[in-house]
């Protein structure tokens, strides 16, 4: 491959897409990242829910909002992401989001200028863009729906919407994702090193296939094609190709942005499921947060009330063990161990660290002491309504 085409490739680690894709995964119902999703939802404050629903009523909306950074530097920090969003010109912001939905540029221009309503724009693109409009909840259009409301505010109140978006991202980052990012970043950098070596002597075509990029590079015709084989771009229109490791882009989304001169920059957040598995993602709320309002004695007592889990807790208090090692220690199946680990995790008792052997678990003494000390006030809180109900044991039988 000519050197000038190989030089198009750049590798970087940045939360530019990751923070948005993590938010998408947070609201997805798929089985992907279940442990991370549960832990993160426990860590987020109540105000996050209403803030997130206001700016992204459907998970796919987060991917569209990532396009607001189309003209930013390729590898912004989180602070730079916020600064870019808050400083964007209203029309630039509107165009970035709306162009990700409506393919006709004239429709986008008319929406921004107020010459066309949201309903008119949807009607104009039903025949050519029905699947995406359906996924976004814009077709059939219900004017009272949350998604219709979000797009209406983007069109009529872009500055206010940007402020709400920035606030939502800030809550997510400060309450939960900043810790995850610190854990993910080292493995992402190692992944970048691997891909750089992989690309050193490979053509774009060979590298793209080896790195599992969600587009096909045809070195012979010098074109970038979609997976169905249709030509999307030509090499001579490309200025840069950025390849970014991702722990959350399981939908294999990618971006293509043209600058004012017409040059294209391609962004490929490459999904790697092992990044999340090998990283020390948070399994409990950060210890410096006030957890007194979330203490749930039932979770703590349920977690330690089973003899097997209590024995596991004692083992993990003496040193880290992986789930596979625990399964061997207790001579039970990995599925059984996973069940017990999940209950200990839900109670906020585990610290998890990615290693070469997998995720190493250990009992977090500080978390145990903190949860135990705050369970007593929760039990004796006379202001809370008293609810008496029969529960089921883990086999589904009434107690």
**Same-domain status, 323 and 262:** no
Query: Do the domain assignments include residue 395?
Result: no
Query: Do the domain assignments include residue 358?
Result: yes
**Same-domain status, 272 and 334:** no
**Same-domain status, 265 and 371:** no
User: CA–CA distance from 83 to each of 42, 129, 162 (Å)?
Assistant: 28, 33, 11
Q: How crowded is residue 36: how many other Cβ atoms within 10 Å of its Cβ?
A: 23
**Same-domain status, 251 and 294:** no
CB under 8 A, 24+ apart: contacts of 122-130: 128/103, 129/101, 129/102, 129/103
- Cβ atoms of 21 and 269 within 8 Å: the answer is yes
- Residue of 67, 61, 114, 113 lying closest to 88 (CA atoms): 67
Final residue belonging to a domain, choices 255, 276, 297: 276
User: Stretch 54-75: mean pLDDT, rounded?
Assistant: 96
Query: Do the domain assignments include residue 399?
Result: no
Query: Do the domain assignments include residue 264?
Result: yes
| Domains of the chain: total | 2
Q: Which helix (H) or strand (E) holds 241?
A: strand 238-246
Give dist(CA 138, CA 145) in Å, integer: 9
Q: Which helix (H) or strand (E) holds 38?
A: helix 34-43
**Same-domain status, 186 and 307:** no
CATH number of the domain at 293, please.
1.10.10.10
Which pLDDT tens digit goes with each residue over 331-350?
Answer: 888 778 888 888 888 788 88
Q: Would you state the structure tokens that stand for residue 53, as one six-digit string?
A: 């629903």
**Same-domain status, 216 and 298:** no
pTM value? 0.71
**Same-domain status, 263 and 289:** no
**Same-domain status, 124 and 10:** yes
Which pLDDT tens digit goes with each residue over 189-243?
Answer: 999 999 999 998 888 999 999 999 999 999 999 999 998 889 999 999 999 999 9
Q: Which domain holds residue 16?
A: 3-276
Residue 286 has pLDDT above 80, yes or no: no
Which pLDDT tens digit goes with each residue over 2-11?
Answer: 445 778 999 9
**Same-domain status, 261 and 350:** no
């Amino acid at each position: 491959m000519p050197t000038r085409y190989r030089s198009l490739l750049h590798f970087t680690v940045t939360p530019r897409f990751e923070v948005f894709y993590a938010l998408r995964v947070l609201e997805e119902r798929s089985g992907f990242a279940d442990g991370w999703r549960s832990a993160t939802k426990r860590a987020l404050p109540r105000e996050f829910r209403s803030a997130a629903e206001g700016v992204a009523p459907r998970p796919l909306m987060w991917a569209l909002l990532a396009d607001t950074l189309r003209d930013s530097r390729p590898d912004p920090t989180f602070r730079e992401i916020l600064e870019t969003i808050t400083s964007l010109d209203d029309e630039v912001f509107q165009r970035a989001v709306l162009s990700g939905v409506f393919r006709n540029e004239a429709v986008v221009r008319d929406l921004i200028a107020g010459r066309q309503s949201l309903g008119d724009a949807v009607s104009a693109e039903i025949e050519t863009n029905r699947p995406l409009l359906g996924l976004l909840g814009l077709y059939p259009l219900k004017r009272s729906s949350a998604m219709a409301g979000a797009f209406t505010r983007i069109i009529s109140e872009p500055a206010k919407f940007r402020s709400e978006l920035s606030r939502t991202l800030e809550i997510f980052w400060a309450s939960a994702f900043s810790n995850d990012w610190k854990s993910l970043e080292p493995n992402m950098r190692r992944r970048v090193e691997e891909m750089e070596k992989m690309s050193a002597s490979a053509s774009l075509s060979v590298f793209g296939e080896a790195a599992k990029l969600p587009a096909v590079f045809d070195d012979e015709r010098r074109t970038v094609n979609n997976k169905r084989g249709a030509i999307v771009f030509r090499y001579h229109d490309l200025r840069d190709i950025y390849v970014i490791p991702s722990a959350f882009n399981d939908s294999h989304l990618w971006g293509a942005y043209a600058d004012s001169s017409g040059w294209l920059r391609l962004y490929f957040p490459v999904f790697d499921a092992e990044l999340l598995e090998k990283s020390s993602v948070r399994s409990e709320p950060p210890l410096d947060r006030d957890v007194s309002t979330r203490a749930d004695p039932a979770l703590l007592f349920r977690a330690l009330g089973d003899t097997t889990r209590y024995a596991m807790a004692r083992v993990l208090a003496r040193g880290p063990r992986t789930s596979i090692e625990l399964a061997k220690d207790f001579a039970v199946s990995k599925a059984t161990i996973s069940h017990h680990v999940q209950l200990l995790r839900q109670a906020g008792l585990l610290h998890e660290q990615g290693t070469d052997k997998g995720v190493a678990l250990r009992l977090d003494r500080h978390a145990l002491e903190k949860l135990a000390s705050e369970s007593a006030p929760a039990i004796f809180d006379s202001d809370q309504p008293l609810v008496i109900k029969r529960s089921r044991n883990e086999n589904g039988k009434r107690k």
